[in-house]
Structure 1
């Protein structure tokens, strides 16, 4: 065992120099080697921290915030300049770059690596370069004159000195152009220095200017809203006036967004945090306003077409017209869905969420899927059910249905609910999934006309032939009854004391048929009351001869319908 342990120690001793040399060789691949670094600036002061990417950017921002631009120049790689130009322009380039970084885009320093080698730390292992050191890092990407310019950090080493992180020479070459685009405006150049003191994330003058900026934009939106309202009243009635009146709000927001963009580009610009927030908000408002204008145009066109082709919403219209109206509403929902998706994709593309958050979204895709599936199950289910109703058409807009013992017209089929109009002008709002999962009667599925049954309970002595003649006469006189050849009268039931007589009639539509049934019932009841009151059911009380002999009187009974009591004495055989 001692011999084996000795051999192991000898092997480790021989391998150690090779391993250390290999590590040193590999580390050399993760920095840029240069002969000299900012020779015109002299020795870097102690305040300059350049060992890690996070430390380098944080040191640069802190020094430029304090006005120490000459020291901040040590965080730039000025190798493209001569030593004389480095000493002359280094501080000015640092000042211009600090203004670009503060105004161009909000830079979150905490997201930068805190390791010297900027190794990609990814516990999920989904990053393509997880576990690999880096020598070049992107900070921000900014647009100027139609081109995109990157500000990047690079890791550099001179001889045996420690490697440091600096802004790359390629980034320095674009500072002048970016400063023209993102530098302070004419108004900001005349702001006194005492108002440029930073409080929190903003400067002192920005805390005053931003509320004024919002007030000016709000007044512009209110003016556009009022002006569009005046124009809509001047326009002739019909589709132009309706469309103009419906786009007052989105046009006001579009005007506010465009004016705010113009002010930010040519009049005033704020710090990166405020500017980034404003630009995202303006993109969302502009996309929302344009999408809403497009939807209002579609709504106006569909409403015009609906009124011209279909008219009022009820089941008296031909079933093909009701089917067309349902298809138009389905088309509207499809257009809304496509518009929402297009606007969402546009917003995400403009704020570059796909590029900056793509890996994070992929890493958390399973969690988001579960959360969205749980939280949006009811909404998504209703939307899918809405499209199912629009395609299969078990009900159409204008159909008369009996839903949970309520007679209702289908007034609208929307994404998540169906709006029903009851016979007494109430509105019943039903979730689509609940509606399609419950049984209901569609009284307009084929035709609007309906067969109705009228029932009377009469005495056994009633003359059915006479009743049949009177019923047919009353039905032919009633304007709500159609297809007189379908009129019928039958005895459909019998008890020991009464008959069940059923009368059948056809109405042009369910409500009309119900009203005709009620009118004819009144006429039949009045006829029997005036001409044959003996036809009403009568209750029979049977007394034995013993009760008659004692002079007993029949017990009182509760009579539930009009009746005359007849005493009948049973005789013994």
Structure 2
């Protein structure tokens, strides 16, 4: 009876030690999290925010499982249950470490991506190219880490290890079959890498695809998400961009030319319109102070004069807003200053007498 009571006390002590160690691990992770959060004040450490945001829960899970696995002793439960519990601890530890490593890698790259997101002007094109490449590389890295973790988890099963030799012997045939079955997927993945590193398209590029104008919102190894001007999303396989023509308005630089067309009466004063265009551009912060012009580009069959106002902006978003501002101002200017130049239809009737 004394021996049995001692065993019960020993087991209770072991479980109590395990619980205490887990609590200490949780407290330690919480202290680290609070220290990192204190670094957020005043932006003293740019990595603190992404680490806290992405690694808090993976850190708690990894600390708990790793501590429990280290403190746990085989005599705490029966032999059969002990084998199952140790195997479960191993699988959980691999899962948590994989989760933590992926989130830590994402946190580090988030700092770079956030900085590149705010780069404007001449460096914007290079920044978008780097953002595209970093996004794809970290997704590839995450996929490789997950595959390695799954392999490590599978090889913790003795049955899988026993089948290893047979799998290696049939790897050639299996590889051919898998290659044929995944031909489309592999083609898209290679096309995604080609697009990212050939600089054909980048995140936030302005493109015209299938007669739709939009921006590259997401570029993965399998598909491209295009955000259209009316907030719709056009999803296309990556291979589309390597096998079909498309327009890229920001291929060499972010700076873009915008145009505004007005159809007015022949009585419109061209020089006054040109002077007014320059005045409104000069006062508009969206204009990059480089290119502008106003030209008569056509005479319509309906008896109107077509004016084209051309202006430049640092990027496509600024160009769109600038065009709207200029169009609104010129319409108001013609209506208030030269109402006789408002488009009108003239009809000539012959006197029957």
The TM tier, using the shorter chain, reads: 0.7 to 0.9
Query: Which of 500, 512, 516 is the aligned partner of 2:306?
Result: 500
> Partners in 2 of 1:543 and 1:523 — Cα distance?
36
Structure 2 match to 1:249: 57
Q: Deviations over 1:496-549 (max 9, x none)?
A: 522222222222222222222222222222222223222223223343444xx6
Give the number of aligned pairs: 334
- Verify: 1:286 aligned to 2:72, yes or no: no
Structure 2 match to 1:234: 35
> Partners in 1 of 2:27 and 2:333 — Cα distance?
67
- Asked if the contact 1:492/1:501 (under 8 Å) is kept, the reply is yes
Larger RCO (CA within 8 A; separation ≥ 6) = 2
> Partners in 2 of 1:241 and 1:486 — Cα distance?
43
> Partners in 2 of 1:473 and 1:505 — Cα distance?
12
Structure 1 match to 2:12: none
Structure 1 match to 2:315: 509
> Partners in 2 of 1:458 and 1:291 — Cα distance?
66
Structure 2 match to 1:482: 288
> Partners in 1 of 2:345 and 2:77 — Cα distance?
97
Mark the CA change 1:219 to 1:385 in structure 2 (over 3 Å): closer, same or farther: farther
5+ long unaligned stretches in structure 1: 1-185, 192-212, 550-573
> Partners in 1 of 2:307 and 2:134 — Cα distance?
47
Q: 1:160-559 maps to which residues of 2 (within 5 A)?
A: 228-235=29-36, 236-237=39-40, 238=45, 239-240=47-48, 242-243=50-51, 246-254=54-62, 255-256=64-65, 259-260=68-69, 263=72, 265-271=74-80, 277-308=84-115, 310-312=116-118, 317-353=123-159, 355-358=161-164, 361=167, 370=177, 374=181, 380=186, 382-402=188-208, 405-408=212-215, 410=217, 412-418=218-224, 428=233, 430=235, 432-433=237-238, 436=241, 440-484=246-290, 486-546=292-352
Structure 2 match to 1:131: none
Mark the CA change 1:489 to 1:223 in structure 2 (over 3 Å): closer, same or farther: farther
Mark the CA change 1:524 to 1:447 in structure 2 (over 3 Å): closer, same or farther: same
Mark the CA change 1:475 to 1:250 in structure 2 (over 3 Å): closer, same or farther: closer
The structure that has the greater radius of gyration is 1
Mark the CA change 1:533 to 1:480 in structure 2 (over 3 Å): closer, same or farther: same
- Asked if the contact 1:419/1:427 (under 8 Å) is kept, the reply is no
Deviates more, 1:287-296 or 1:426-435: 426-435
TM-score normalized with structure 2 length: 0.73
Mark the CA change 1:381 to 1:459 in structure 2 (over 3 Å): closer, same or farther: same
Find the residue that maps to 1:537 and give its secondary structure. coil
Write 1 or 2 for the structure with the bigger share of helix: 2
CA RMSD of aligned residues (A): 4.2
Mark the CA change 1:288 to 1:269 in structure 2 (over 3 Å): closer, same or farther: same
5+ long unaligned stretches in structure 2: 9-14
